[in-house]
Amino acid sequence: MDSELEARNALRSKKLLPVILAIAIFMQMLDTTILNTALPSIAADLNEPQLKIQSILISYTLVLAICAPISGVVADKIGTKHTFLLAVVFFTLGSLFAALSMTLTQLTLSRVLQGVGGAMLTPVARLALMKAYDRKDYLRVINYAITPALIGPILGPLLGGYLVQYASWHWIFLINIPIGLIVLGLAFFHMPDFKGAPFKFDLHGYLIFAIAVFLITYGLEYSINGAHKWLALPLILGGMLFLTRYWFYARRKDKPLFALTLLDVRTYRIGLNGNLVARLGISAMPFLLPLFFQVALGYSPSDAGWLLVPIAVGGLTVKPVVTRILKITGYRNVLIWNTAMISFFIIMIGIFGREMPIWALVIQLYILGICNSTQFTAMNTLTIGDLGPDQVSSGNSLMVVNQQLAMTLGVAFAALFLNFYVGQHWFPTENTEKAFQLTFISMGVLTLLATYIFAKLKRDDGDFMAGRKAAE
């Protein structure tokens, strides 16, 4: 009788595991997208300049980039259940502390705690799902689990705009608490506790790499901060020195955190570099657009939230046909021309500004969402497509870090350009619209550089993955 009860409980836990992952992804995606429309209100309430509030975004994505490589290591050591529970606790507590924050420093530190939880939340749940289900069932359950990731970007800006307008910005963090408690309760009773085989983690290499990423990112951040601008150059140079140190270290190390042999794979090298540059402009848009709509054009938070919806809807629309597009046109053509289109639409926002009719802006943002979604799928699949079986794990980890770093740098560069143009006093101080327009143009041009990187691809690169040719 006891064995039958245990079997039923195990089956119930297995069925609930995709639900746990789905709620966790929804919470994280909602938090990521709900914050953007609230930035001007947060700045006003905390008595901070509206154009220098980017640290609450940068701190979160930076911690994701730094902590992502160790999520699997922690899960293998203490088990998927305990790691996931810790992740939910960190994320929920970070949300609570963020809602209670009285200063920008307190809010930034709270976002760091959220980032520690967020770095482990989804990867560990995915790992548990992978170990709980057979390979033939994994694709089905993971597709079910990631559906909320498509809903979050649509709901987030709207919910954020209305909460800020009719309640207060604190609620964009408080809303995570009941969701976190639900996930915590489900995971406590139904999350399986898988552990991995013991292996030696490259802690030395990880610390060198993490310090390099931290110094470079905060060097860019301090270049915006008038009181601490003198720190910018030493931090950036220090970060470059640590990156150089890691390069020589990884060449000598037998099994480094990120093997330099990954860069010997041509498509991986091109995909990684193109990913970084192309995502700079794409990642800057969720930061720039809500500020532009509210600070420069005078829209309400709810109206700004509605204007972000077309981007998410465009991404959702094209998802089912991206594979077919790649099969018809090939990776090289898609990545070159799609990158150029993304750059073009970002620049158009800068050129026309408020002169663009609202209907034209909505159509443009919808197409931009289509291009963004196509770009992500093409870049991600091409980057790891030619890696060998022994390279996939390390290569995928480095790609995830690269993506998070691009998101961090995208916001940092956008804030840097924006504050630079405002600081030149080329325009009346009460009107920052032209500074925003120049920032959009600058980010669009920066994104366009990725077309040069993708032009190095061969015409048949990725043809096997896209189904354009059979395996040899």
111, 216, 229, 300, 408 from 220: Cα distances, Å? 19, 6, 9, 30, 10
What pLDDT does 121 receive? 85
Q: Count CA within 13 A, CB hemisphere, residue 134.
A: 2
Higher pLDDT, 311 or 460: 311
Residues 329 and 227 grouped into a single domain: no
Shared domain for 298 and 399, answered yes or no, is: yes
* C-beta separation of 385 from 462 below 8 A: yes
Please check whether residues 463 and 374 belong to one and the same domain.
Answer: yes
104 neighbors 48 (Cβ within 8 angstroms): yes
Residue 3 has what pLDDT?
Answer: 61
Query: 227 with 325, same domain?
Result: no
Q: Does the pLDDT value for residue 95 go beyond 90?
A: yes
Nearest to 42 by CA among 28, 27, 32, 56: 56
At CA 318, angle to CA 313 and CA 322, rounded to 5?
Answer: 155
Q: Are residues 304 and 249 in the same domain?
A: no
Count other C-beta atoms under 10 Å from residue 336's C-beta: 18
- Angle, vertex CA 328, rays to CA 324 and CA 331, nearest 5: 90
Tens digits of per-residue pLDDT, 10-24? Answer: 666 677 888 888 888
Domain hosting 462: range is 265-472
CA dist., res. 168 & res. 101, Å (int): 13
209 and 185 in one domain?
no
pLDDT tops 80 at residue 471: no
| Residue 143 pLDDT level (bands cut at 50, 70, 90) | low
pLDDT at 126: 76
Decide: 270 and 332 in contact? Cβ < 8 Å. Answer: no
441-461 mean pLDDT: 93
Cβ neighbours of residue 472 under 8 Å, at least 6 residues apart?
none
Sign of CA dihedral 423, 426, 429, 430: negative
In a shared domain, residues 367 and 241: no
Task: Determine the Cα–Cα distance for residues 130 and 132; give it in Å rounded to an integer.
Answer: 6
CB atoms closer than 10 angstroms to residue 359 = 8
Tokens linked to 274? 């193109």
Q: Give the HSE-up count for residue 345: Cα atoms under 13 Å, Cβ half-sphere.
A: 23
Q: Answer with the residue of higher pLDDT: 80 or 426.
A: 80
Residues 211, 174: one domain?
no
Confidence of residue 107 (pLDDT cuts 50, 70, 90): very high
In the predicted structure, residue 371 carries a pLDDT above the cut 80: yes
Q: Kindly state whether residues 129 and 269 are assigned to the same domain.
A: no
- Kindly state the average pLDDT of the residues 444-456: 95
pLDDT at 354 over 80: yes
Mean pLDDT across the stretch 344-355?
Answer: 93
Query: How does pLDDT run across 72-93, given as a tens digit for each residue?
Result: 788 888 888 888 999 999 999 9
**pLDDT grade, residue 127 (50/70/90)?**
confident
Q: Using the 3D structure, point to which of 154, 183, 199 is the last residue of a domain.
A: 199
* Phi-psi region at 462: left, alpha or beta (left = phi > 0; alpha = psi -120 to 50): left
366 by DSSP, 3-state: which?
helix
Cα(190)–Cα(154) distance, rounded to whole angstroms? 29
Whether pLDDT at 68 is above 90: no
230 shares its domain with 110: no
Q: Do 98 and 211 reside in the same domain of the chain?
A: no
Of residues 423 and 403, the one with the higher pLDDT is 403
Sign of torsion over alpha carbons 156, 162, 164, 167: negative
Average pLDDT, the chain: 85
Structure token pair of residue 141: 């359950």
Q: Could you read off the pLDDT of 313-341 as tens digits, one per residue?
A: 998 888 888 888 888 888 899 999 999 99
Residue range 299-303: average pLDDT? 92
How confident is the model at residue 428, as a pLDDT? Answer: 63
* 370 and 430 housed in the same domain: yes
Question: What is the distance between the alpha carbons of residues 65 and 427, in angstroms, rounded to a whole number?
Answer: 37
Taking CA atoms, 316 is separated from 150, 228, 236, 240, 392, in Å, by: 6, 42, 38, 38, 27
CATH of residue 408's domain is 1.20.1250.20
Max Cα distance, the chain (Å)? 80
pLDDT in tens, 228-260: 677 778 888 999 999 999 999 988 888 888 888
* Residue 289: predicted pLDDT: 94
Q: Domain count of the chain?
A: 3
- Alpha helices (H) along 1-103: 2-34, 39-45, 55-78, 80-100
Q: Are 410 and 218 in contact (CB under 8 A)?
A: no
Position 438 scores a pLDDT of 94
Residue 5: its pLDDT value, please? 54
Element holding 250 (H helix, E strand): helix 232-252
Give, to the nearest 10 degrees, the angle between helix 176-190 and helix 2-34: 160
